[in-house]
Structure 1
Amino acid sequence: MKKSIATLCLLCLALPAAAGRLLPDGLVMGKLADVDDAGIEFVRADRTLLQRLSALIAIEPQHFALSAGLRVFDEHNRFLLSGQLNALKGRTIGVTFDQQGNINRIWILGGDEIETRRQRQAQIQP
């Protein structure tokens, strides 16, 4: 009896780990193009038609500063150091911004997460 209760408790503790990670709704998807001391060059992937047309008139910023409390998460939701961003050039990432327009969170996205985000964008946009 004690073994079955202990097994049940362990299974309940393992469920959140098997459920995957939760990404914020305000996540902006794009590619990590370049990294330097001042920040990163981030090319957005989920721009609307209006944003694309406005980029023809006014240059859209692609270089963003990193906030002091930056957190970087890999595909398995482990923390990475900001010095490891150079190895991630060309990868698809998701970012969130703080009130000053600096990037405060970076998620390295896996293939299934990228596809889920694209499907969600397709449902939102007509």
Structure 2
Amino acid sequence: MKLFRLCVLMVLLAASGSVWAQRMIPQNMRVATLKSVAYPQVVLANDGWSWMRILTAGWLDGSKVYTLAPGVRVRNQQNLFEVYGRLPGYSGQAVAIRFDQNNNIDELWILTAEEREVLRMRAKGIETRR
């Protein structure tokens, strides 16, 4: 009987492991779209639409150039660390970024579609509270 209970417990723990595997994206991350990468700089565009982009038919999209910090941490959609040399393969993807005190990108997360929506809704909630 003890062996049966132990087996059931092990199966339940193994099955619930996927629930705990979700990523927890920090609160102070900003969302953008990764346009291009030329180490140590990346070009990020606003995530979403802007009047400037509409009025210029996409010619001006509000892109800005940012510098990556020397110890930048890049996480992919599976929450694995990536080397920054593989960043050009993620061009066009939504990313969450965090800056250090020198206004360099210290942390960059490649987002899934679900995470992008969660962060977008979180940002709307912050804007409505102000």
Bin the TM-score by the shorter chain. Answer: 0.7 to 0.9
SS in 2 for 1:125: helix
Identity %: 26
Q: Which moved more, 1:61-70 or 1:92-101?
A: 61-70
SS in 2 for 1:70: strand
CA distance in 2, matches of 1:14, 1:103: 37
Which residue of the partner structure matches residue 81 of structure 1? Answer: 83
Unaligned runs of 5+ in 2: 49-61
TM-score norm. by structure 2 comes to 0.74
TM-score norm. by structure 1 comes to 0.76
Aligned Cα root-mean-square deviation (Å): 2.5
SS in 2 for 1:5: helix
Change in 2 beyond 3 A, CA 1:65/1:3: farther
SS in 2 for 1:75: coil
1:75: how far off?
Answer: 0.9
Which residue of the partner structure matches residue 5 of structure 1? Answer: 6
Q: What whole-Å deviation, never above 9, does each CA across 1:60-81 have from its counterpart, x for those lacking one?
A: 8811111111111111101111
Q: Which amino acid aligns with 2:112?
A: G
Alignment of 1:1-80 (within 5 A): 1-2=2-3, 4-5=5-6, 7-9=8-10, 11-12=12-13, 15=16, 17-19=18-20, 20-45=22-47, 62-80=64-82
CA distance in 1, matches of 2:100, 2:122: 23
Contact 1:28 1:44 in 2 (8 A): no
How many residue pairs get matched? 114
Change in 2 beyond 3 A, CA 1:7/1:97: farther
Larger radius of gyration: 2
